[in-house]
Structure 1
Amino acid sequence: MKKMIQKMSLVVFLLSTTLIAACTQPLGAVESTQTASIAAQGPLDAKEIEAFADPLFANKMKEFNVAGSSFVVVRDGKVIVNKGYGFADKEKKIPVDKDTVFQIASVSKTFTALAAMQQVDAGKIDLHGNIEEYLGGLKIPNKTGKPVTMYDLLTYTTGFELPDETTFTGPQYIGQDISMDEFLSKHMPTVIRPPGEAYTYDNTGFLLAGYAVEKASGIPFAQYMDEKVFKPLGMTSTSVRFKPELLKRMAAHYGPNGEPRPAEGHAPTDGPQGSILSTAEDMAKYMIMQLQNGKFDGKEIVSEKSMELMHTHQIFADKDIPITTVGFENYFPQYANGQHVVLKGGNMPGHSSLMVLIPEQKTGFFMSYNNDSMVSADIYKEFMDHYFPEKAKAKADPEPDYLPLSEADAQKYFGLYQNTRAYWTRTSITYENGSLVLEGEATGKQKLRMIHPLLFVDEEGEKVAFKEDKNGNIKYFYHTTPKGVSLAADSQKMEMKKPYSDVPNTSSYKTHINNLSAFSIMGATTGNKFDPTGTMTQGEFADALIKAQGQYVMAGSEDGLREQLAAGIPNLNPSAPITRQVAAAMIQNLKQLEPVATSKVTLQDTADAWAKDAITALVSQGIVDPDTKVNADGSFTFRAQDLLKRQEASALLDLAFGYYSLPIKR
């Protein structure tokens, strides 16, 4: 197999990543032309649904620049509405209809969970047994001593260090045939957290779940899904693979601004984590089976017991903050209006999907559309508000009685935390005037009030749930904020390393050095010595920069990042000592900061032309080492041609990629 290089696409990162961005936009109300009493009965009448949905989709598709979308609603075992909006191909004026094919991306995970539970029903897989018994001899590197189970895979709690190490997508994979055997022998992350301990959205987990289905059943995964799932459900336009007859009906792909883009395939070719193609017509049958407890057209597709696991919350941040079921998720429960909802969304570059099930109401809807926006978040909210509005409360909920928190009791929360999936998402927790203070790049500084010792609320009303280890030490937190990508995973508390013997407590660089050490970005050179005034090579700094930037965790992205950080810098040599101006240019190449207009700064010393703008941009944002002083008039001397010291590198990297909100006030 040729070396796989993936251009980094954070759209594929996770449903929640793009859903977060969408949910920060205003949600306009779209009034139904039918009476409220009809809507209050739920989606029962096709004409009423269309009267509600038609203007909603027209408005939202225009707002989010969506060319075309499918929309299907089922209830009580019947399809109520199944129609398309806009164009599958706007250049050719081909409309979307119920048979338009879309890539449903991570909605595929629910199918993989279903297949795995079929094998559990058949007694071929033990849901809570060591998954390696079902991998045909494939071993999972594991530093914890606790084996991974199928339950861990399906509930996003495997403990993998790099859960996106197996997420390869690109146009080049459409024409290839890469087996899971071939792929997984070369791409396997390591388990570094005890399985079941922490929530981390995990593509690798579902890839392995599908591989276990293949090995336990003795049937290739794509064939298994055809024979055991799609065919029994009559899903004739659904496949794990890019079949020619489906490609002919597949909607064109567009970027957020409406620009055409190529379709992308997966490696391996059969992608249990996200490679399924389907239509609204077929997905309606799948939802009906889900809402009929695993039965369809008189056949049992999966047991009622297994379906209950898929529809029951399994993993919680707090007892009132459910996160996942077996296969499904529960992001933004406030949109559910008190209903029990399970949902799953998916994103591939140019295609997005969302499936929402309300099991107790025997109701579900599904939509696929052809761009990278998350218009589906708005549709979901409006659908629930229209058909399942939250019942009026007799009186407003009283403000909780927040508990006091002394500085002594707050100590156990203090420290630096790193998201267990998105390593670039880092958070600091300190104490100030009776409150914990959370600081992150996306959230800024937020004071936290205590509901109980493991649950706090921030200034915007979002919950922060902490988790202890067996000794009562704080180990993780989960933040429900829609800002950034915190919803992608628990954040883990970093262990502060033993103080370096050659970094005095009075050093203005000590905090920066300690921060980078905690995140394993820079460490000792020999023994317990940091060598703060020592120099670095260009290659050493590039290595530290890649770790500090954090997005190397996306499969195949590191080569692209290294190419990006070198852009426009002449005569780079990994073995050569690095100067301060080269370091500044490398940081800016990845950071891409704009100079702060209100913080005009003027470089006083000599720097090469290719480095001046980078230096100015960083300094205007407050990314400057302690020995570089900015005068009251904005003038400063950067010592651009000097060699970069290790302590200076620690300060620049910590400030550029730490937990701070930019610009940093001087």
Structure 2
Amino acid sequence: MKKTTLNLTLAALLLSSTVFTTFTALEASAAPNKTVSNKQTTKVSSKGPINSKEIQAFMDPVFAEKMKKYNVNGSNFVVVKDGKVLVNKGYGYANKEKKTLVNKDTVFQIASVSKTFTALAALQLAEKGKIDLKHNINEYLGGMKVPNKTNKPLTMYDMLTYTTGFDYPDISTDISPEMVYQDIPMRQYMTEHMPTVVRTPGEAYTYDNYAFLLAGYAVQTVSGIPFNQYMEKNVFKPLGMGSTSVRFTPELLSRMATHYDPDGKPHPAFGHAPTDGGHGSILSTGDDMAKYLIMFQQQGTVGGKKIISKKTAKQMQTYSVFADKSLPMTTVGGFEGYRNDLMNGHHVVLKGGSLPGHQSLIVLLPEKNTAFYMSYNNDTMMSLEVYEAFMDHYFPDERAPEKKTYIPLSESDATKYVGSYQNTRFYFLKTNFTYADGKLLMETGASGKHTLKMINPLLFEDESGNKLAFKKDHKGQIEYFYYTNPNSLDFVSDARKVHPKPAFADVPDDSVYKTYIDNLHSLDVISAKSGNNFDPLGKVTQGEFMDTLILAHGWIIPDYIRANKELTKKGIPGFDRNAPITRQIAAVMIQNLKQAEPATDIKLTGNTDPWAVKAITALVSQGIVDPDTKVKADGSVDFRSKQPLLRQEASALLDLAFGYYTLPIKTK
């Protein structure tokens, strides 16, 4: 299948509905970190938004400012209060070139907001007794089995709360323009792209696309009809959502907003594999989404039609998973609680999603009977700032300033936290904790170094007031942490402690390569060659190195694996997977992904091909060099460029390039 891949920004990559959660540290870092003490807001009404004209008078300039800032051509915006639509309008252009305006009937891909609909469908079947949320999910998959390395069955409850324990939660992330016009069956695709449960289900929060794809398949299997037909019959039609579908149709495509990249260039819509993606394939309009919001405010009914019970409607809007009692995370229904700092102390559940060129956000305040929804036609983070403005204006923070009290942390007590951790979704994101002077010291590859003070034995706070919650596993041991820093990437999922694995029998304790080999082994990047032997002096083929490089890089997503494999070969004459790899080829492949900036002046001696010089000098200048290669005082170095790369050398280069957490990298 021919693939088309956009050159997306990191923000778009992190936001992709079939890839990542709604907000990104990259965009968030542009704004100052918010705390209760620095909020300056004016309260409009104790009842929140109640007047259509006032809402528009406030939000119109907000959209004008944010759309200009983020180069957004068009957006819709819906506000519902007490079951009534107060605002349902469009801003700007659905198609800038044709001057087509956004209105209530403009179609957008709502992306990961689809997860809440999939959860609703699964909960409908649970109400009818056809699915038990706490039973083994394999009972509802028509013979398809989910591999599970733990002693606890995976359940629908785990899937709807993002706590499956899957090793590769984005393994089914597969999008391209060609897929808009294809019909890719669920069962075959999912069987070929099946993750494994490697953490005890229910223990750790990991944003999980496969979980909701699997939930949709369970709905299809249990109901006996295709997922798209189930949704049409039991959700969209009863809600009166006539312009909402799991699949692209000619009529909906004719009304779809054009997709734009952050630079304002139009591009095609992206479809999903499989076609019926319970994790992110729904299309809808502002008019239809208003009905969805009303359903929650009317406790599961619309126009007298019961969609779900009052109990289920409440369950979908009530947090069931917490990092700490003060840090809500997910409901049984696909809604989340990220960016707790923007909630202003109110009960808010939200869900966002993005595909290339479209972005959506749904926000519910159940106790205020208020909700809003928006979609727009690029994949920047405008939604974050609109959400912030809405909350600060209508639901400002009225809490008294928090009194800071900390508990002393002894060195002996700190041992249970100290160590290295890896994010359970973003494998490239690693963190290390050490102890000094009564505090935990944190270094993370997303935001650098932080000092943590203990509030209670499971809750810490950094120098900026961001909370970090440690979590225990089923054995009662500290095994995970969740960090709320909006200027980081850690908040996308829990991170898990990295435990050393038994040493390889043929790697001596005094080997200068042992640390690198052990590090990558503990991260499941490398494994034994045979038995318990690593074969440190063995040679490596170009294909073997590529596959290991992809694992070390840490982006385990089909679209990006394919793209990165192509990228690694760039600039290498005559790439051959079966041929032995030289040290200069390995350096170019690493640099193609690492993109390290030269930090010191390096002079290569020996024999190096011109196409490899730039890559080698950049890596060596950053200290990404195996221990047997010495840089002299004058910056000269013989990289032995044309010699075969040995397995131990590959381990050192990959660990130094992608295994560390410390920031910043060296600069000139």
Tell me if TM exceeds 0.5.
Answer: yes
CA distance in 2, matches of 1:154, 1:131: 12
Do the aligned residues in 1 keep the contact of 2:22 with 2:353 (CA within 8 Å)? no
Partner residue, 1:32: none
Matched ranges for 1:480-495 at <5 A:
480-495=484-499
**Aligned partners of 1:622 and 1:638: how far apart in 2?**
13
Check whether the contact 1:620–1:663 (CA below 8 A) recurs between aligned residues: no
Q: 1:156 to 1:275 in 2, by over 3 A?
A: same
**Kindly tell me: are residues 578 and 431 of structure 1, through their superposed partners in 2, closer, same or farther at Cα, counting changes over 3 Å?**
farther
* CA 506–183 in structure 1, closer or farther in 2 if over 3 Å, else same: closer
Report the CA distance between 1:41 and its aligned residue: 3.6
* Aligned mates of 2:466, 2:230 — CA distance in 1: 42
Q: 1:307 aligns with which of 303, 313, 316?
A: 313
Q: Tell me which of 578, 581, 584 is aligned to 1:578.
A: 581
Please tell me whether residue 467 in structure 1 is matched to residue 471 in structure 2. Answer: yes
Paired position in structure 1 for 2:545: 541
Label 1:470 to 1:40 Cα distance change in 2 as closer, same or farther (>3 A). closer
* Distance in 2 between residues matched to 1:526 and 1:187, nearest whole Å: 27
Equivalent residues of 1:605, 1:637 under 8 A apart: yes
Alignment partner, residue 640 of structure 1: 641
Of 319, 324, 327, the residue aligned with 2:325 is: 319
1:389 to 396, 412, 423: 396
CA distance in 2, matches of 1:332, 1:392: 17
For 2:225 and 2:666, locate their aligned partners in 1 and report how far apart those are by CA, in whole Å.
57
Q: Does 1:510 align with 2:517?
A: no
CA distance 1:225–1:129, change in 2 (3 Å): same
Match of 2:82 in 1: 76
Query: Matched residue of 1:424: which SS?
Result: coil
**Count of aligned pairs:** 654
Distance 1:134 1:4, change over 3 A: farther
Q: How far is 1:571 from its partner?
A: 3.0
Question: Following TM superposition, by how much is the alpha carbon of 1:373 offset from its aligned partner in structure 2, in angstroms?
Answer: 0.3
1:435 is matched with 439
Q: Residue 285 of structure 1 aligns to a residue in which SS?
A: helix
Match of 2:98 in 1: 92
Tell me what 2:663 maps to: 661
| Within-5 A mapping of 1:306-385 | 306-326=312-332, 327-385=334-392
Aligned pairs for 1:615-630 (under 5 A) are 615-630=616-631
Whole-Å Cα distance in 2 between the matches of residues 542 and 245 of structure 1?
44
Alignment of 1:548-563 (within 5 A): 548-551=552-555, 553-563=556-566
TM-score, structure 1 length as denominator?
A: 0.93
Is 2:212 the partner of 1:206?
yes
**TM-fit CA distance, 1:121:** 1.1
C-alpha deviation, 1:501, in angstroms? 4.2
Give the corresponding residue for 2:226. 220
Task: Give the Cα–Cα distance (whole angstroms) in 1 for the partners of residues 351 and 657 of structure 2.
Answer: 34
For the structure 1 residues 47 and 665, does the alpha-carbon distance in structure 2 shift closer, same or farther, using more than 3 Å as the test?
A: closer
Given that 1:419 and 1:425 are in contact with CA atoms closer than 8 Å, whether structure 2 keeps it comes out as yes
User: 1:24: which partner in 2?
Assistant: 29
The change in CA–CA distance for 1:38 and 1:463 in structure 2 (over 3 A counts) is: closer
Q: For residue 592 of structure 1, what is the aligned residue in structure 2?
A: 595
Distance in structure 2 (CA, Å) of the matches to 1:45 and 1:27:
31
Residue identity matched to 2:619: L
Structure 1 residue matching 2:21: 3-state secondary structure: helix
Distance verdict in 2 for CA 1:430–1:500, change over 3 Å: farther
5+ residue gaps, structure 1? 30-34
Q: 1:315 Cα deviation (Å)?
A: 0.9
Residue 165 of structure 1: CA displacement?
1.4
- The answer to whether the 8 A contact 1:71-1:280 is kept is yes
Question: Given the alignment, which residue of 194, 200, 204 partners 1:194?
Answer: 200
Using the TM superposition, name which of 46-55 and 215-224 deviates more: 215-224
User: Pick from 158, 165, 168: which aligns with 1:152?
Assistant: 158
2: distance between equivalents of 1:513 and 1:274?
Answer: 39
Matches within 5 A, 1:290-301: 290-301=296-307
Moved more, 382-391 or 4-13: 4-13
Counterpart-to-counterpart distance in 2, 1:615 and 1:376: 41
Q: Which is worse superposed, 50-59 or 560-569?
A: 560-569
In structure 1, what is the equivalent of residue 567 of structure 2? 564
CA deviation map 1:429-448 (0-9, x unaligned): 23334433222221212232
Measured in 2, the distance between the counterparts of 1:446 and 1:366 equals: 35
Aligned to 1:609: 610
In 2, Cα distance between equivalents of 1:152 and 1:638? 50
CA contact (8 A) 1:14 1:346 kept: no
* Aligned ranges 1:118-267 → 2 under 5 Å: 118-267=124-273
Distance 1:440 1:45, change over 3 A: same
Q: Secondary structure at the match of 1:391?
A: coil
State the percentage of identical aligned residues. Answer: 57
After the TM superposition, which of the residue ranges 111-120 and 396-405 deviates more from structure 2? 396-405
Cα deviation for residue 51 of structure 1 reads: 1.1
Displacement of 1:428: 2.2
Q: Deviations over 1:89-120 (max 9, x none)?
A: 00111111111110000101111111111111
Contact persistence 2:414–2:440 (CA under 8 A): yes
**Per-residue deviation, 1:158:** 1.3
Contact 1:622 1:663 in 2 (8 A): no
Rate the CA distance shift 1:478–1:556 in 2: closer, same or farther, 3 A: same
User: Equivalents in 2 of 1:547, 1:44: separation in Å?
Assistant: 52
Q: Secondary structure at the match of 1:185?
A: helix
- The one-character-per-residue Cα deviations of 1:518-559 (angstroms, maximum 9, x if unpaired) are 1122233344444434433323322221110111x2024333
Amino acid at match of 1:648: E
Cα distance in 1 for partners of 2:309, 2:463 equals 44
Of 2-11 and 614-623, more deviation after overlay is shown by 2-11
Stretch deviating more after TM superposition (130-139 or 569-578): 569-578
Deviation at 1:499, TM superposition (A): 3.0
Aligned counterpart for 2:524 among listed residues 504, 520, 526: 520
Computed over aligned residues only, the root mean square deviation of the Cα atoms, in angstroms, reads 2.3
Cα deviation 1:300-356 (Å, max 9, x = unaligned) = 210011111111101111221111001200011111111100000010110000000
For 1:316, the aligned partner's letter is: F
Give me the whole-angstrom Cα distance separating, in 2, the residues matched to 1:256 and 1:162: 28
Deviation at 1:563, TM superposition (A): 1.9
**In structure 1, what residue type is equivalent to 2:272?**
H
Equivalent AA in structure 1 for residue 165 of structure 2 = G
Q: Which amino acid aligns with 1:379?
A: V
Distance 1:231 1:644 in 2: 61
Contact 1:17 1:484 in 2 (8 A): no
Structure 2 CA distance for partners of 1:521 and 1:600, relative to 1, 3 Å: same
Q: Any conservation in 2 of the 1:134–1:215 contact (CA below 8 Å)? A: yes
Stretch of structure 1 that moved more, 43-52 or 430-439: 430-439
Residue 282 of structure 2 aligns with which residue? 276
Pick closer, same or farther for the CA change 1:64–1:472 going to 2, 3 Å: same
Match of 2:243, SS state, is coil
Report how far residue 277 of structure 1 moved.
0.6
Q: Deviations over 1:232-286 (max 9, x none)?
A: 2111111111111111110000011111111011122111111111111111111
Conserved? CA contact 1:442–1:484, under 8 Å: yes
Give distance in 1, aligned partners of 2:348 and 2:377: 25
Determine the structure 1 residue equivalent to 2:403. Answer: 398
Once residues 594 and 236 of structure 1 are traced to their aligned partners in structure 2, the CA distance between those partners, rounded to angstroms, is: 52
Aligned residue identity for 1:185:
T
**TM-score between the two structures when normalised by the length of structure 2:** 0.93
CA distance in 1, matches of 2:2, 2:193: 11
Query: In structure 1, how many angstroms separate the alpha carbons of the residues matched to 2:506 and 2:348?
Result: 56
